[in-house]
Structure 1
Amino acid sequence: MDALPIMFDPVPGHACAAALAILLLSSAWRKLADREVFRATVELYDLLPAAAVGAFAGLFPLLEAAAGVVVVLRPDGPWMLLPLAVLGLSTAAILINVLRGRSNLECGCGGDSQPRLSWALVMRNGALLGGVLVAAAVDNGRPLVWVDFLSVAALTLALAGLYAALNQLLANQPESMQTGSLS
């Protein structure tokens, strides 16, 4: 007897793809708009040789923008490795610095209110990586109908709003919560 394929409703996958595209494209835009600040942030992370910082700071926002386009246009197969790699690289850099105890750094995500590095930021990025996997599970053969498009739009707005609210909460958390100390 053949195993039944896992079937997912396509609405959450399309909504995750759209929300991730908004996030990745806006983040790339903010980094490109203020290249020097992003370059300084990459330098402060202290993960790359000094000679590689400029090249990485110039290339990463372009890869981030490409990942944003990929999640909308090609949310299937090997193409989804790009958003996984971009978000995975960001998460690894944050994780390494949190493990080093360097929670005084801003994340470098772009925007006016940037959270400082913390375990909560690592978990937020883990949820984003999970969103990439949900977006990649979109193609199950069921076509979207008119009500699905409304659902995708509503869920996309809800996910984008949830991300913005969480980011603001992380940016405004007390210093003792960022470092994990209770004093």
Structure 2
Amino acid sequence: MPTITAGEFRNGMTFEMDGQVMQVVEFQHVKPGKGAAFVRTKMKNVLSGGVTETSFNPTAKFESAYIERKDAQYSYNDGDLYYFMDQETFDMIPVAKAELPAGFAFVKEETICKLMFYKEKVVGVEPPTFVELEITETDPGFRGNTATNATKPATVETGAEIKVPLFIDPGDKIKIDTRTGEYLERCKG
């Protein structure tokens, strides 16, 4: 495995530290008036999702960690296992519910997601950034109530709850940002 130094950090870069796979979220090279330069780093643990901030000596060495991303179609779930079909080999890949991000609540069957592999093991699932889902349950909409930012709870076809504007009706298709779980817009047609 190639090694990298903290001085070579770039946003999105992945490396191994203390047996964990870390991804650089933000970094800043700091050269104080006195003392040695250092690299202030905000990094995310790829396996647990935890974010930490640490300062490193620019010459600190780390093993580079290659995270492979593959397209896989979400097929079905069976209890706590969710099955994805590899788009090249058509193999079924089981993923534990604990490995799924919160945004996965907005993913319906047959949706293409990105599976992240590290050393042949699934370490994460990236759902599509935006999804279009149908509202299955909400209070009836009110005309003319678009001036205020008032919202109401609604259930989408995957069973997830979301806050939507008052004018949204059951049966409407809406666009959702899976990173934040927020309503974006009503879909046409």
State the TM-score, normalizing by the size of structure 1: 0.26
> Quick one: higher RCO (CA 8 Å, sep 6+), 1 or 2?
1
Larger Rg: 2
Structure with higher strand content:
2
- Greater helix share, structure number: 1
Q: TM-score, normalised by structure 2?
A: 0.26
